[in-house]
Amino acid sequence: MKIRPSLVVVALSSVASLAHAQGTVELFGVLDISYLHTSADGNGSASSIAADANTANRLGFRGTEDLGGGLKAAFWLEAGLSPDSGIGQATSVDNKTAGLAGINGSQGLTFGRKSTVSLIGSFGELRLGRDYVPSFMNLTVSMHPFGPGGSGGVGSSGQMFYPVNPVGSAVRTFVRASNSIGYFLPAGLGGFTGHFMYAIGEQASNAGATADDGQYVGASIGYRTAALNMVIATGTTKYATGDFTQSNFAVNYQFGPAKLMYLWGKNEVGVTSTTANMVGTQYKVGTGEVRFAYTTLKANKVANDASQWAVGYVHDLSKRTALYVHYSQVSNDGAGTRFTVGGGNSTTTPGGGSTGYEIGIRTSF
């Protein structure tokens, strides 16, 4: 039987199109590296080549599969890394300890940034694995001018909006939770969004006071239009040393080239708490963006009150690559020394402050 070459081409094209429609797999990543200089009262200055100053570094794989009938399966594997040294990022296996004895990721990659499998349909999305907790999304660059940065970032939201652990306690779920079950509301609800999560600490039932350690429950509800975006979120993790609750509210409004931003956040660890308020903006200028944030923090039974201001400029060289420069100053109130710029050298003078600047490049693929 003769088969026309044209028919073979059509058949192969149809098979290829069907395979493409059924599933996709993507390799992606971000590399961000900078020169960081910090100085702190009573502790001199320090310089380093740093990572994560503008955007957290990552290497990942993600994909979707069309199951038919409007149903899709998806996966996401994302590892953190430090390009200045090449090491991987640690993770937490039970929302209590920092990896296995705190060394996971020190000799290679772990998919500690995100590791999930999802089922997506008209009902929304059901997602299982290690994922961002609902309250963390208000600390990202969509709601804070500088976002969380990473281990560095002199303007990072993490410096004032991450929890302060009292002596004898440690919380692991202010960014992500392992062993989680998450649900996201579907699109098309008139601008309303929602994210709900439950995570298991995986402690033994006969562990006594620590049996519930690492168990997390959280949720966020938001509303978004073309110009307005606002979200309120909260989440609590159980710990025998004192439950951890992170709550925040963020709103921004796009007004011409300026995005006006406000963020409130409260972290409670046992009987201690810190409450922060930030006002800021992201202002488009040609192919770049000016960023500014001013934050005040009030502490209760831990650390001290403090304030921070930060200014920066990000210049896009292309859709994937940008140059940036950031500057920030942190001031501790009273006799406090807890807060410092960019994770650099600590302030040792009571009531002292610190400053820092960074110049770097970020590229993505």
Contact 142, 249 (CB under 8 A): no
| Over residues 250-261, mean pLDDT | 98
Residue with tokens 């199951």: 67
The yes-or-no verdict on residue 34 having pLDDT over 70 is yes
The yes-or-no verdict on residue 127 having pLDDT over 90 is yes
What was the pLDDT predicted at 349?
96
Q: How confident is the model at residue 182 (pLDDT cuts 50, 70, 90)?
A: very high
Q: How confident is the model at residue 202 (pLDDT cuts 50, 70, 90)?
A: very high
> Could you tell me which residues come within 8 angstroms of residue 61 by beta carbon, excluding any fewer than 6 positions away?
25, 26, 27, 28, 75, 76, 77, 78
| Total-model pTM | 0.90
CA-CA distances (angstroms) from residue 311 to 40, 295, 326, 355? 18, 12, 6, 12
CA-CA distances (angstroms) from residue 278 to 54, 147, 174, 251? 18, 12, 18, 11
| Over residues 63-75, mean pLDDT | 97
So where are the chain's domains? 24-364
The yes-or-no verdict on residue 187 having pLDDT over 50 is yes
Question: How many whole angstroms separate alpha carbon 54 and alpha carbon 314?
Answer: 9
What was the pLDDT predicted at 150?
59
The yes-or-no verdict on residue 297 having pLDDT over 60 is yes
Report which DSSP code applies to 163. Answer: P
pLDDT: which is higher, 92 or 319 = 319
What was the pLDDT predicted at 249?
98
Q: How confident is the model at residue 143 (pLDDT cuts 50, 70, 90)?
A: very high
Per-residue exposure over 237-262, b if at least 16 CB sit within 10 Å of its own CB, e if not: bbbebbbbbbbbbbbbeeeeeebebb
Question: How, if at all, do strands 45-51 and 353-364 pair?
Answer: unpaired
Q: How confident is the model at residue 92 (pLDDT cuts 50, 70, 90)?
A: confident
Question: How many whole angstroms separate alpha carbon 212 and alpha carbon 205?
Answer: 8
14-18, 184-188, 218-222, 271-275, range with the lowest pLDDT:
14-18
Question: How many whole angstroms separate alpha carbon 87 and alpha carbon 89?
Answer: 7
Question: How, if at all, do strands 192-199 and 216-224 pair?
Answer: antiparallel
Question: How many whole angstroms separate alpha carbon 152 and alpha carbon 58?
Answer: 14
36-40, 146-150, 229-233, 297-301, range with the lowest pLDDT:
146-150
Question: How many whole angstroms separate alpha carbon 328 and alpha carbon 295?
Answer: 11
Amino acid occupying residue 28:
F
Q: What is the residue-averaged pLDDT of the chain?
A: 91
What was the pLDDT predicted at 12?
38
What was the pLDDT predicted at 17?
43
Q: What is the radius of gyration, based on Cα positions, of the chain? A: 22
CATH superfamily of domain region 24-364: Porin (2.40.160.10)
The yes-or-no verdict on residue 308 having pLDDT over 60 is yes
| Over residues 1-14, mean pLDDT | 42
Amino acid occupying residue 218:
G
Q: How confident is the model at residue 106 (pLDDT cuts 50, 70, 90)?
A: low
| Over residues 344-354, mean pLDDT | 92
Q: Which of 237, 234, 247 is nearest to 212 (CA)?
A: 237
Contact 230, 259 (CB under 8 A): no
Contact 34, 312 (CB under 8 A): no
The yes-or-no verdict on residue 325 having pLDDT over 50 is yes
The yes-or-no verdict on residue 100 having pLDDT over 60 is no
